[in-house]
C-alpha cells in the first residue's frame, strides 16, 4: 500500500496542476482572478471551503501524529498540502506515516 500512497501523491500534485496551468494560460497569471473564480458561484465556493477545511484538518492531524510518533519526515505533508493541495498532501502523509519506524 505504501507505494500506492506515493503514486496518489504524485498524481495529486500533477493532475490538478494541469488544470491550474490551463486556467493561467487562458486568464493570465492572476492570483486575484483565481481566487475570484473559486468564489464564482455557490458550487465552487463550497468546493473551495471543503478543500480548505480538509487542509486544516490534515495539518492538525500531521502535527498531532508527529508529536506522538516523532516521525519528523511526515511534516513534509504540511507544505505539500498548503502549496499543492490535499490531493497531494494526504497521500504523501500516508506514504510517510506507513514507513517502518525501526
Cβ neighbourhood burial of 92 (10 Å; 0-12, 13-18, 19+): buried
CA dihedral 31, 15, 85, 29 (to 10 degrees): -10
Quote the CA–CA distance of 38 and 50 in Å, as a whole number.
12
Q: Which helix (H) or strand (E) holds 32?
A: helix 31-38
- pLDDT tens, position by position, 71-81: 999 999 999 99
pLDDT score at 56: 98
- pLDDT tens, position by position, 16-47: 999 999 989 999 888 898 889 889 999 999 99
The separation between CA 62 and the C-alpha centre of its own chain, rounded to angstroms, equals: 12
Mean pLDDT of 77-95: 97
**Residues near 1 by Cβ (< 8 Å), separated by ≥ 6?**
98
- pLDDT tens, position by position, 46-61: 999 999 999 999 999 9
Q: Could you tell me the pTM of the whole model?
A: 0.88
Amino acid at each position: 500500500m505504501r507505494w500506492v500512497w506515493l503514486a496518489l501523491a504524485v498524481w495529486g500534485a500533477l493532475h490538478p496542476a494541469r488544470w491550474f496551468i490551463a486556467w493561467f494560460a487562458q486568464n493570465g497569471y492572476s492570483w486575484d482572478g483565481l481566487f475570484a473564480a473559486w468564489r464564482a458561484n455557490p458550487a465552487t465556493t463550497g468546493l473551495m471551503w471543503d478543500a480548505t477545511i480538509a487542509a486544516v484538518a490534515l495539518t492538525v492531524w500531521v502535527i498531532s501524529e508527529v508529536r506522538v510518533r516523532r516521525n519528523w519526515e511526515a511534516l513534509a505533508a504540511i507544505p505539500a498540502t498548503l502549496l499543492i493541495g490535499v490531493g497531494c498532501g494526504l497521500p504523501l502523509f500516508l506514504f510517510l506515516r506507513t514507513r517502518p519506524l525501526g
